[in-house]
Structure 1
């Protein structure tokens, strides 16, 4: 297959029309939402106006990124059972979020993670650290989405040159900035709801189509996948992990990062503030688990369906991220390819918009309003203006990073973001909510230390250099053997948080008692959502 001509038998003109229709529809939604985006509460948290069901669907729209639709389907198509481990990890992670953080965070915060941490800790240093961590996690997540955009466009429009893919990544970046600048969290949330519904419907249609071809016999599908892919062991473990001791450790590291990372992702945590009560926050997570769980069952069929129906040469030429679009082409020709590709683009646009607004809120609310201005910002419009400027800067950085990372598997890139979140944010959140002795020093050690350890291990890992699948293939400066650093960095984050706490004499038992009451009962939480 010649990528310069797009998918064989595809129709780039049709694809462009379908994509343009979707963009126009979402822009209309965003502009309509902008009429209600007047205050800081509207911009950051949609005025706390969404129901638990609406927010749960939006959360699934935020969470089911290009990594889920393109990356995991591709990993299952090429690595079978081992690729499905990503789906399991991403889903199980929501149980951690539901049981440990959802309701408690909603009761103790207002807009950002920094609000929760500074309830009982010193304002300025902790907010600065929380903002830095949120920006780094969001940036790695944005890399994955931008990489997905580049891969998808190669198939959708027949663009194979580096310049062409870079140009399309730039267009995606401009669109995401527009969504955030115009619609704020309210517009972004509605885009995510629409995207989640489209993604579920698209995946459902493809799943039923694939199963229909084998008489709804999953065993026959697995057998066809093994035969067509030339990989007899595709239905069993070992194609990606388990062949060596190092790969086994990498799997453990990956599992830790996926399961623990969700509860520390800033753009997921921020969604708990768009509902009016803690009860609705719990309901949000329940809805999200249902939607996400159903979707990941679909990815199992989509991945093995691609292995069974798409030629290995086409998969190799298009890259692992192309498995779902190629399967759509094999099933329904140019029309289904165009529709599924548009859904994939919807996925990318919705997620990058959510990440961008989270990053801009972290800087404007935590750094500008509470660190630089010391909490004395009288004009909330100025704070929102800073958030919008930050969104533009983040968009430019994401475009540049996405161009560099465009050839990487996006599920893998997202796993790195999860590792950072689990190492820098999760220890601080859990210590702050559940450990009376925890103090400012522990928070700073945990966030900065966890962040530093994780970034260093990633930079000097095979993910960045030293292998044919590395980000930089022509150089080798790696010394850490695991592509995912979670096995080392997550315990390091918890250890550093404990050590920093014990080396400081600061403690505020009264403030912890107040936080505990609010977190567990919701008493006083309404004060956190006053407009």
Structure 2
């Protein structure tokens, strides 16, 4: 009889822990819904829905930007990569942070001065409105949907891990629940409600990470070298854990090139993500946009320094073997560390810490998906419906109703696609979003702002070429051809088929049947991160399109003649 008491106690404790976590989830969702309903009272017109009236302060917007940018991948994913890969994992943090210098120096203030609601406003202020809004609208929606799918599938994974809920049904309902909440946030609260949800989430995220970081440092007497030494020892990799090359150090050269490609996509893609760019319109002036980016850089920089401590602490205190056992990708490193700091599995303190981290991770996802949905629905309503389909003849009410309907439709599409993609590796979806943004959006933005000879035809070429090349390269990469090994699963072919295949094959006699061939084909493009190829394609297409198009299209001349007026507006905000 006594042998069964510990099992009963463990089961009871597990049920209590799950109830505590669910309770925190519900409380957090309730708080965010109250904020959304409060924001609804002061959301008027398209300006209120798209940008919150542009009345947020630089500090408020800086916190919201960090809340929009620091997704669940930052909190859980980066800590997990560091815990498993050491120094190489921290390179992700560097890429995410450095990207904001580009946004600060080249994009934030100029974008605020030349646009109103969306990225397409900037292009249309200088180039021909119809083609630019169509191209930018398509790109914005594609990037946002891929990012949405990644976040929602990630939500299903995280909730399943943290609540110990398994099965396809639980994943589907989690995705549907997140989708329903994000639609409510956007349709009811607009940008104001979404921004305050992001602010609350950012504060909780920073507070949770700071609490865990200080707790870890206190355990080590604030001796970081001691922490790093223990992490290296526990990883069983020794000094290699603290040096470059553990994750991106293969001798074939492709791995190192992949690292360069990833860094390029992170640095350039971040400064062109639509849901990040739209935040520059929520402040009164271009100066406030620049100041808000300064605040965001400070907050994001501190956070990523904390992920360094959390990742190495997870390796030292929890152990890489335990982390991999729970999740081979390391996404549970931060939650396992929180549970360990609270006293371990089954303890009240451990349960409290685990529940808090779970609630923060869930809030992170809710805030990010709401921002993405708002951005894509605004682009559809403002760019495609009001200015392309209705050619500027839509009333403000019609545009606002269209934006809300678009939020429902885009949210439903994202939910449906996420349900079908729930068993897939979603890492390529995030990489694709960054690659598309860097390949399609950034060339058009930078060349519009800084190149006198840039034309409408060049902008169309750059956006569409970047869009197609980024998606195409990912489809031909190892991610879609069998994972990290770069091969598709072996298929059985006849000897004749193998000869036609033109690849190495091995014969296997099966009884009296014809010899079958096991043929494994490598990925056509051995890079998992396409940025190093697709980004130059986007820039080259934009430049060549402008040079070639200007010789055969008479209407492109006005694009250059208007540049002086546009340049004054971008630098000063005059004429906005």
CA–CA distance in 1 between the matches of 2:366 and 2:12? 21
1:499 corresponding residue in structure 2 = 544
1:241 aligns with 2:291: no
Structure 1 gaps of 5+ residues are 526-531
1:154 aligns with 2:160: yes
1:523 corresponding residue in structure 2 = 574
1:420 aligns with 2:436: yes
Structure-2 change in CA distance of 1:498 and 1:35 (3 Å): same
1:217 aligns with 2:223: yes
The SS at the match of 1:111 is coil
1:165 aligns with 2:215: no
- Out of 408, 420, 426, the position equivalent to 1:392 is 408
1:432 aligns with 2:448: yes
1:42 aligns with 2:58: no
Instruction: Please say if residues 6 and 154 of structure 1, whose CA atoms lie closer than 8 Å, have aligned partners that are also in contact.
Output: no
Once the two structures are TM-superposed, the CA of residue 451 in structure 1 deviates from its matched residue by 0.4
- Out of 455, 459, 464, the position equivalent to 1:448 is 464
1:339 corresponding residue in structure 2 = 356
Instruction: Please say if residues 68 and 411 of structure 1, whose CA atoms lie closer than 8 Å, have aligned partners that are also in contact.
Output: no
1:326 corresponding residue in structure 2 = 336
Once the two structures are TM-superposed, the CA of residue 227 in structure 1 deviates from its matched residue by 2.5
> What are the within-5 Å matches in structure 2 for residues 265-304 of structure 1?
265-304=273-312
Post-superposition Cα deviations, 1:91-120, rounded to whole Å, max 9, x if no partner, equal 000000000010000000000011000111
CA–CA distance in 1 between the matches of 2:214 and 2:487? 36
Cα RMSD, aligned residues only? 2.1
Provide TM-score, normalisation by structure 2. 0.87
1:467 corresponding residue in structure 2 = 483
Structure-2 change in CA distance of 1:468 and 1:427 (3 Å): closer
> What are the within-5 Å matches in structure 2 for residues 124-273 of structure 1?
124-232=130-238, 233-244=240-251, 245-273=253-281
Post-superposition Cα deviations, 1:307-359, rounded to whole Å, max 9, x if no partner, equal 11224343223322221111111111010110111011111000100000000
Instruction: Please say if residues 7 and 158 of structure 1, whose CA atoms lie closer than 8 Å, have aligned partners that are also in contact.
Output: no
Once the two structures are TM-superposed, the CA of residue 470 in structure 1 deviates from its matched residue by 8.6
Instruction: Please say if residues 488 and 522 of structure 2, whose CA atoms lie closer than 8 Å, have aligned partners that are also in contact.
Output: no
Post-superposition Cα deviations, 1:127-186, rounded to whole Å, max 9, x if no partner, equal 011011111111222123123212211222111213212221221111111100100000
- Structure with more contact order per residue of length (Cα contacts < 8 Å, sep ≥ 6): 1
Structure-2 change in CA distance of 1:473 and 1:197 (3 Å): farther
1:361 corresponding residue in structure 2 = 378
Once the two structures are TM-superposed, the CA of residue 82 in structure 1 deviates from its matched residue by 0.8
Structure 2 gaps of 5+ residues are 1-10, 343-349, 492-520, 551-555
Once the two structures are TM-superposed, the CA of residue 228 in structure 1 deviates from its matched residue by 2.3
1:529 corresponding residue in structure 2 = none
The SS at the match of 2:562 is helix
2:561 corresponding residue in structure 1 = 510
Instruction: Please say if residues 428 and 474 of structure 2, whose CA atoms lie closer than 8 Å, have aligned partners that are also in contact.
Output: no
Structure-2 change in CA distance of 1:468 and 1:454 (3 Å): closer
1:85 aligns with 2:91: yes
CA–CA distance in 1 between the matches of 2:67 and 2:123? 27
Answer with 7-16 or 126-135: which moved more.
7-16
The SS at the match of 1:275 is coil
CA–CA distance in 2 between the matches of 1:474 and 1:231? 33
CA–CA distance in 1 between the matches of 2:287 and 2:14? 50
1:490 aligns with 2:535: yes
CA–CA distance in 2 between the matches of 1:308 and 1:287? 32
1:528 corresponding residue in structure 2 = none
Post-superposition Cα deviations, 1:171-217, rounded to whole Å, max 9, x if no partner, equal 11111111001000000000001111110000000111111222222
Instruction: Please say if residues 6 and 157 of structure 1, whose CA atoms lie closer than 8 Å, have aligned partners that are also in contact.
Output: no
1:95 aligns with 2:80: no
Aligned length: 520
Instruction: Please say if residues 266 and 434 of structure 2, whose CA atoms lie closer than 8 Å, have aligned partners that are also in contact.
Output: yes
Structure-2 change in CA distance of 1:205 and 1:10 (3 Å): farther
Once the two structures are TM-superposed, the CA of residue 468 in structure 1 deviates from its matched residue by 6.0
**Higher Cα Rg, which structure:** 2
Provide TM-score, normalisation by structure 1. 0.94
Post-superposition Cα deviations, 1:452-480, rounded to whole Å, max 9, x if no partner, equal 00000011111223226899978977311
Structure-2 change in CA distance of 1:495 and 1:439 (3 Å): same
Structure-2 change in CA distance of 1:153 and 1:222 (3 Å): same
